[in-house]
Amino acid sequence: MSISSAMAAGVSGLTANSNAVERISNNIANADTAGYRRSFAQMITSGSTAATGSTSAGVATTITHSNTTEGTFQETSVASNLTINGSGFFVVNSNIDAGYTTGNMFTRDGSFAPDEKGNLVNGAGLYLMGFAYGADGELGAVDRSSFADLEPINVASQSINGSATGAIGISGTLPSQETGLATPGSAFTTSVEFYNDLGEADRLTLSFQPTAADDTWDVTISGPGGDYGSVTMTFNNSGPNAGSPASYTNVTSLATAPAGFAFDVATGEVSLTINNGTTPQTMTMSLGAPGAFDGLTQFAGDYTPMKVDADGSESGVLTSVEFDESGDVWGIFDNGTRKPLYSVPLATFANANGLATSNNSTFQVSGESGDFYLGASGTGETGSLTSGGIEGSNVDIAQELTSLIQRQRAYSSNAKIITTADEMLNETVNLKR
């Protein structure tokens, strides 16, 4: 290698180590930046040396990213702050008004919080994107290989319509010692809440009157508009079915049309028609099939308050949201309903370290990264989510400072090569004097 080649090698060393210091400085500056991924300059040989001689050689740098190394968890106790445990990136967009299929980026910065419109946005002003659940609580078929089905996640105040009650199940225990008395005691009563087609709550009343016959009760159902009907219920008092309903008799409808009452003695199921609108509401109520123990039973002892299992709900307004590790965003409504609103997908890549970096700790697809796949959190190779914290930078300050000292010494050594080569050239020039 000639003196001029040695000087060129030294210059390349200065440039390479300058690039390395630039990366180290950027890493140190972003040590506390949420979701930041460190990068470093890796030294590679520049030029070559032939077997019979040498050509110009030196050093160059290639930039390597540590996108797959996780940062530290920082608890914030803010429910909408999200951390990815494992692989994956959030899909975010800086301008959600411009369309959802363009301008999307990827980030690990999960410092999301609702803005004035209820859209979840992180500290860099990037909006979180997700798949919306339907009104039926089903996600349906979504395209996980494109942005087509994504939309901004919005947790602003919203409401759900009430749904009418269609089926009611009654279970509980009646005291057997109250029956068979010459003068039976007072009836036991319980009320059952149900919802009409507008989501408004109303109540039915069930009266259980012990009779003078052993193990026999008269059950009367009443509600809006008066009594609907009654039935005599007899329980088994011996054998393997002791305590379960034995039979239903004396079915009597007391309803005034268009209200209605019917009873199936084989199943123990009441069919009710409630006159509470232009179109009367219909529902069923199960007291328990003969020989079954999943409804009303009778045993010696105290009266057990009835347990009511009814569908339907009243109208509700969103009061809070929850995030689970599967990436689902749940809405909690003031009527007690818990309903899935969105699914937060995580983008995975064949080579996440090959992503192109951009501002605000974001990344873009590149030829080295491969295409993305929007996987459901916690499935396959996709990481899971933790609510209530953010992921910090994956920079190790001690490692960076150590590297800084190494690069400083390497820079000084390369500068010494240049000064030495310069002195040698001066000596060569002075040979003519």
pLDDT in tens, 111-132: 999 999 999 999 989 999 999 9
Same domain (yes/no): 346, 246: no
Confidence of residue 54 (pLDDT cuts 50, 70, 90): low
Domain of 268, CATH number, reads 2.60.98.20
Confidence of residue 83 (pLDDT cuts 50, 70, 90): very high
Same domain (yes/no): 112, 131: yes
Same domain (yes/no): 209, 254: yes
Q: Which of 89-103, 256-270, 293-307, 343-357 has the lowest mean pLDDT?
A: 89-103
Domain count across the chain: 3
Boundary residue ending a domain (295, 310, 325)? 310
Instruction: With H, G, I as helix, E, B as strand and everything else as coil, classify residue 268.
Output: coil
Strands (E), 133-211: 151-152, 159-160, 167-175, 188-195, 201-210
Mean pLDDT in residue range 44-55: 65
Q: pLDDT (tens digit, 9 = 90+) per residue, 150-171?
A: 999 999 878 888 889 999 999 9
Same domain (yes/no): 215, 294: yes
Confidence of residue 50 (pLDDT cuts 50, 70, 90): low
The phi, psi pair for 418, rounded to 5°, reads: -65, -45
Confidence of residue 133 (pLDDT cuts 50, 70, 90): very high
Query: How many CB atoms within 10 Å of residue 364?
Result: 12
Mean pLDDT in residue range 296-318: 92
Same domain (yes/no): 106, 182: no
Cβ-count burial of 44 within 10 angstroms (0-12 exposed, 13-18 middle, 19+ buried)?
exposed
Per-residue model confidence (pLDDT) at position 99: 60
Same domain (yes/no): 178, 297: yes
Confidence of residue 294 (pLDDT cuts 50, 70, 90): very high
Tokens 């702050």 sit on residue: 81
Mean pLDDT in residue range 193-217: 94
CA–CA dist 65, 89 (Å, integer): 15
Q: Which of 25, 63, 9, 67 is nearest to 407 (CA)?
A: 25
Looking at the DSSP bridge assignments, the partners of residue 42 are 62
Helices 3-29 and 397-430 cross at an angle (nearest 10°) of: 160
Mean pLDDT in residue range 46-53: 62
Same domain (yes/no): 229, 344: no
Boundary residue ending a domain (310, 326, 352)? 310
Q: Which of 45-59, 71-85, 153-167 has the lowest mean pLDDT?
A: 45-59
Same domain (yes/no): 305, 325: no
Mean pLDDT in residue range 306-335: 91
Looking at the DSSP bridge assignments, the partners of residue 89 are 347
Strands 104-107 and 372-376: unpaired
Residue 416's domain comprises 3-66+394-431
Boundary residue ending a domain (269, 289, 310)? 310
Per-residue model confidence (pLDDT) at position 307: 94
Per-residue model confidence (pLDDT) at position 237: 95
247-253 CB contacts, 8 Å cutoff, 24+ apart:
247/290, 248/287, 248/290, 250/218, 253/228, 253/229
Going by C-beta distance under 8 Å and a sequence separation of 6 or more, which residues neighbour residue 318?
Answer: 155, 156, 157, 158, 159, 331, 332, 333
Size of the chain in residues: 433
